[in-house]
Amino acid sequence: MTSTVNLEGKTLSSTIAKLNAPLMQAFDPRLSSESPVAIIPTPTYNTQAQRLADFDTLTAALEYAAAGAAGYNFYDAKGNLRSVLPYRALRLNARTSAQRLLSLGLVSGDRVAIVADTTPEFVELFFACRYAGLVPFAMPVPVNLGSHAVYVQQLRGMLEGGQASAALANTDYIAFLQEAAEGSQGLRWVGTPEQLGKLSAPDIALNANDPDEIAYLQFTSGSTRIPRGVIITERALMSNLRGIVRNGLEIHAGDRCASWLPFYHDMGLVGMVMAPMVAQVSVDYLATRDFAIRPLQWLRLISRNRATVAFSQPFGLKLCTLRVRDSDLEDLDLSSWRAAGVGAEMIRPDTLRNFAEKFAPAGFDARAFLPCYGLAESTLAVTFSQVGQGFQSLRVDASTLVDRKLAIRLQAEGRKYSEFVNCGRPLPEHTVKVVDDAGQELSDLRVGSVLVHGSSIMTGYFNNPQDTQKTLQPGNWLDTGDLGFVFEGDLYVTGRRTDVIIVNGRNIRAQDIEELAEQQPEVRTREASAFGITDTNDVTTIVLVIECRLTSTTDRQALTSRLQRLVYMAFGVNCLVELVPPHTLPRTSSGKLSRFAARQGFIQRTKLTDQLSAESGDI
Amino acid sequence: MASDYTEILQRLCHHLKKFCEPNVEITPETDLINQLAIDSVKLLNLIMEIEDEFDISVPLNALADVQTVHELANLIHRIKYTEQ
C-alpha cells in the first residue's frame, strides 16, 4: 500500500495528459478502463520535527524523513498530479530495490547508470543504490531532433567512463540504452525498473553507509568525448546540503519546493531532490520537457501549491518571460515564492529585471531573487547571496575590464559598461579566492580565475587522474574554470575561460566541437577552433573556424552544411562556420591553437566588435 | 490513411512556414535541421504548436529519429492514429 500511487493512464480522455507516458504504454489496453482516483500531494506542513540536514549520510536522512508526511509529487504537462512518492514510500521501495540490485551480484562500490527522466522510479533507484552501497550516476535523456546516434554514443561514453556494472532506463529510453550497452564488457545487467521489479528481493541485510564512501558520480559534459564523472563522497554531499538548506535557503517549516530542473543536472539532483529531502520538505516536479514547452506550468505549480523555493537557470527565467502570455498572469499568484534561486550559468541582470517586471502583476517579489554560484565539482553550491534581499549588481567600466582586468565601478554615465550580478558569499567551511595566471591571489576588484576550497569539493574525476590533477590544484584548491572578482567578500562571476561555451544554459566544451570537425576527412587535426560570441542581447552563438584547402564552392558549401548539421545533432544548437586559408588560426609557441586569439581574429575579420557584449572572457 | 497523412503534412507545413524565411519551399524531403534551421528553442515552439494543432503528445524519445518533414509528419500520424 505504501508503494507509489501511480495515476498513469487515468486521464486518458486528454491525450496531452499522456505527455510523459511512453508511447508503448499509451497503447496498453489495461490502462484505459480505470476510473480516475483522487490523490492529494504530500503536505507542506510536516508531522515531524524539522531537522536541517544534520545527518552523516543520505540514507540516514531518508530514514528520518520517512517518519514524516512529506515527499515528492510528480505533475504532468497539463498540471495533473500523476504520482505521489512520500519519503516513507521512497524508503520502503528503495530498500526493496536495493536488495534486488544486490541479487544481481553487484558489490559495494559498483556503479549503476540510470537514465534520469523526471519520474519516481529514478529517485527510487538512486536511493536504492545508496542503500545497497552502490554508486549511482544519472544519465541524460535525448532532447534534439535526429540525435539518435549521438545520444547512443553519449550513453556509451558514460557507461564506459563510469565503468558501470548495471544500467537502467524506463521503457521510453531502454532501446537507446541497450544499443549503447552492446559489446560492453563490464555491464552485468541492463533493463527497465519494471524488469528489476520482477526479480525477487532476497532478504539481504542493508548496511549503513560510511561518510567517506562515494555517494554518486555526476557527469559534467554529455558529448562526444569520454565524459568526466565527478566523484562526490557522502561527507562532501552532506556538507553541501547543510550549507544549502541552513545558510543558503534558511529552510523553515512551511517551505515547499517546485522544480522542473532535470534530475541528471547537479542543480536538479542535489538542489531539488536531495536538499528538500534532508530537510523533510515536500517537492512538486514538472518534467523538464514539459516546462520547456509550456513554462507557465511551473509557475502555476508554484502558485497553486504555494511553493516558497524554486530554482532555475537564467535561461529558464528567460523562457518564462518570453513564452508566458500576459493573459495568463491573471490566474497566477506568485507571492508565496520567497527564494527564487538563480544559478548554473552567468546571470545577466537584465534577465532578472525582465522576469521581475513581467511577473510583478502576478505577485512576484523581486526580493525573492537569490543568485548563487556553484558547480558539480563542489557538489553543487559554493556561494549564496542573502536570502530575501533580491539581487545586487555592480556596473563596471567595460574597457578597463578588458584592458586591465580590473573592475572599476562606473563613475560617469554614458561610458560603455558591463554589469555583473553579486553571487554572494561562500557557504561555511568554504573559501573562494581569485588568482592570476601565475596562481597569485588577487585583491578586490581584480579579475582572475575563481578557485574554491572547502568541505564539499570532489575527490576527483572518476578514473581520470590527468584531469583531476589539472582541476584540483595543490592544497586542494578547485579550479572552477570561471573568471571573476571578489568585492567586499562577495563573488562576482564575469565569464568562462574559453574552453566552455554556454548556449541556452547548456555547457558545451569547445574541444568537443573541434573534435567533431576534425573527424571530417577535409579537416586536419589542430585546424579547427571553436568559441562562443555573445551579442548585446545576450544571445550566444557558436563559431567554428576551419582552415580549409578546398577550392570548389560546392565542396566548401558541402563541408559547411555537414559541420552545421553535425554540431546541431550533437549539441542541439546552430553554429556559424567560417572557412579560412591554412595558417590563418593563431597558434601558441607550442603549436597549440589559441581559441582566445582565434576569437579575436574572427571578430576583427567580421567587424563585430560593437555588437558584442564585453566579457572578461575577452581578456 | 493516405489522405490523413496528406492532411497532416499540409497542416504541418503551414506551421513550419512560420519558422523559416518566407521564400523557402517546404517539401517532405526538406531537412528540419539543415534547411529550416530548427534549433532547440524553435523546436520547443514547434512541438507546442504541433501538440495544440493535432491534440497529441510528442515524446522526446521519438524525436531522436526525426530529421525531415516527412519523418515528422509520419510521427504525428503514428501518434494520432495509433493512440486512439
Chain B contacts of A173, Cβ < 8 Å?
61
Say yes or no for a CB contact (<8 Å) between A176 and B82: no
d(CA A109, CA A238): 18
Q: How far apart are the first and last CA of chain B?
A: 14
d(CA A566, CA A176): 19
Intervals of CATH 2.30.38.10 along chain A: 396-495
d(CA A243, CA A426): 9
CATH number at residue B47: 1.10.1200.10
Please give the CATH number for the structural domain made up of A396-495. 2.30.38.10
CA distances (Å), B3 to each of A444, B8, B29, B70, B82, in order?
A: 70, 9, 18, 14, 16
Q: Is the dihedral of CA A5, A294, A339, A305 positive or negative?
A: negative
Say yes or no for a CB contact (<8 Å) between A151 and B59: no
d(CA A344, CA A94): 29
Closest by CA to A592, choosing from A502, A528, A503, A534, is A528
Say yes or no for a CB contact (<8 Å) between B83 and A289: no
- Nearest CB to B56: which of A15, A151, A568? A15
Q: How far apart are the first and last CA of chain A?
A: 61
Please name the residue that has the C-alpha cell 549588481.
A393
- For chain B, what is the radius of gyration of the CA atoms? 12
Burial readout A135-157 (b: 16 or more C-beta within 10 A, e: otherwise): bbbbbbbbbbbbbbebbbbbbbb
- Nearest CB to A294: which of B33, B48, B65? B48
Q: Tell me the pLDDT of chain B averaged across its residues.
A: 85
Interface test with A, best of B20, B30, B33 (most A CBs within 10 A): B33
Chain B contacts of A141, Cβ < 8 Å?
60-61
- DSSP letters, A391-447, are --EEEEEHHHHHHHSB--B--STTS-EEEEEB--EEPTTEEEEEE-TTSPBP-TTB-
Whether residue B2 has pLDDT greater than 90: no
Find all residues with CB under 8 Å of B82, minimum gap 6, and list them: A27
Q: CB distance from B9 to chain A under 8 Å?
A: no
Chain A contacts of B61, Cβ < 8 Å?
22-23, 141-142, 172-173, 176
pLDDT for A18 equals 28
Closest by CA to A48, choosing from A72, A23, A66, is A66
Intervals of CATH 3.30.300.30 along chain A: 500-618
Please give the CATH number for the structural domain made up of A500-618. 3.30.300.30
pLDDT digit string, tens, across residues A572-608 = 788 999 999 888 887 765 566 778 788 888 888 887 7
d(CA A561, CA B34): 7
Q: CB distance from A154 to chain B under 8 Å?
A: no
Q: Which domain holds residue B60?
A: 2-83
Contact between A130 and A91 under an 8 Å Cβ cutoff? The reply is no
Chain A contacts of B32, Cβ < 8 Å?
145-146
* This prediction's pTM: 0.83
pLDDT for A599 equals 86
Say yes or no for a CB contact (<8 Å) between A574 and B39: yes
Burial readout B57-71 (b: 16 or more C-beta within 10 A, e: otherwise): bbbbbbbbebbbbbb
DSSP bridge pairs for A309: A257, A339
| Chain A from 433 to 492: CB within 8 A of any B CB | none
- Nearest CB to A504: which of B41, B59, B66? B41
- The domain tally of chain B equals 1
Say yes or no for a CB contact (<8 Å) between B34 and A561: yes
Intervals of CATH 3.40.50.12780 along chain A: 5-26+52-233+260-274
| Chain B from 18 to 57: CB within 8 A of any A CB | 31-34, 37-41, 43-45, 47-48, 51, 55-57
Interface test with B, best of A16, A117, A144, A145 (most B CBs within 10 A): A145
Q: CB distance from A526 to chain B under 8 Å?
A: no
Q: Which parts of chain B fold into alpha helices (H)? A: 2-17, 40-54, 60-63, 69-83
Question: What is this model's ipTM?
Answer: 0.82
Residues of chain A with pLDDT under 70: 1-38, 221-226, 498, 505, 588-592, 609-619
- Closest chain A residue by Cα to residue B68: A146
- Nearest CB to A148: which of B55, B64, B79? B64
Say yes or no for a CB contact (<8 Å) between B55 and A145: no
- Closest chain B residue by Cα to residue A289: B60
Interface test with B, best of A293, A563, A567 (most B CBs within 10 A): A293
Chain B contacts of A148, Cβ < 8 Å?
64-65
d(CA A72, CA A81): 11
pLDDT for A545 equals 94
Third-level CATH fold of A5-26+52-233+260-274? Rossmann fold (3.40.50)
- Nearest CB to B67: which of A146, A173, A293? A146
pLDDT for A37 equals 55
